[in-house]
C-alpha cells in the first residue's frame, strides 16, 4: 500500500499531479492532500506516508518551512520529499536539498519527468 501526500495551495495542481502519476503507471494506493505546510504537518502525524510532494510558495507555511520542520521532528521513518515548484534556480534547488528535500521537479513538468523522478520512490506498473 503506497500513500502519497500532495502539498499545494492549488487544488487544480493537486489534481493534475494525481492524474499524471496515475497515467505514468506509478503505483499509488492513496493520495492525501494538504493546502499548505501547516496542514501537511497534521497529515504527516496522522498517516504512514511513502512519499511527500511539496510546492514551495504557499500561504501560512511555505514548502521549505515545512521540509525544515519535518526534518527537525526526527521521525523514525524519513519520508522522502520531492519539491514540485515553479522555483527553478540553482540556489533554490540547493536550499531545498540542504533543508532535507530529496528531489526536485520544476513546473511545468512533463509526464516523463514526473515518472523518472518519482519512479525512484514509487513502484511502476
Stretch of 37-45, 69-77, 80-88, 94-102 contacting another protein, by CB under 8 A: 80-88
Spatial CB neighbours of 124, under 8 Å, sequence gap ≥ 6: 24, 25, 26, 27, 115
Stretch of 25-33, 36-44, 70-78, 100-108 contacting another protein, by CB under 8 A: 100-108
How many other CB atoms are there within 10 angstroms of residue 102's CB atom?
Answer: 18
How many other CB atoms are there within 10 angstroms of residue 101's CB atom?
Answer: 25
Of 86, 119, 123, 124, the one binding another protein by CB under 8 A: 86
Instruction: Annotate each residue in 12-41 with x if it binds another protein (CB under 8 A) or - if it does not, as one string.
Output: xx-xx--x----------------------
Count of residues touching another protein (by CB under 8 A): 20
How many other CB atoms are there within 10 angstroms of residue 9's CB atom?
Answer: 18
Amino acid at each position: 500500500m503506497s500513500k502519497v501526500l500532495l502539498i499545494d495551495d492549488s487544488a487544480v495542481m493537486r489534481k493534475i499531479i494525481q492524474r499524471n502519476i496515475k497515467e505514468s503507471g506509478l503505483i499509488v494506493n492513496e493520495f492525501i492532500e494538504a493546502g499548505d505546510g501547516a496542514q501537511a504537518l497534521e497529515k504527516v502525524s496522522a498517516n504512514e506516508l511513502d512519499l511527500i510532494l511539496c510546492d514551495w510558495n504557499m500561504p501560512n507555511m511555505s514548502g521549505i518551512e515545512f521540509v525544515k520542520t519535518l526534518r527537525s521532528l526526527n521521525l523514525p521513518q524519513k519520508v522522502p520529499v520531492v519539491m514540485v515548484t515553479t522555483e527553478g534556480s540553482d540556489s533554490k534547488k540547493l536550499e531545498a536539498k540542504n533543508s532535507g528535500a530529496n528531489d526536485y521537479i520544476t513546473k511545468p513538468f512533463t509526464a516523463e519527468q514526473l515518472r523518472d523522478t518519482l519512479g525512484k520512490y514509487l513502484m511502476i506498473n
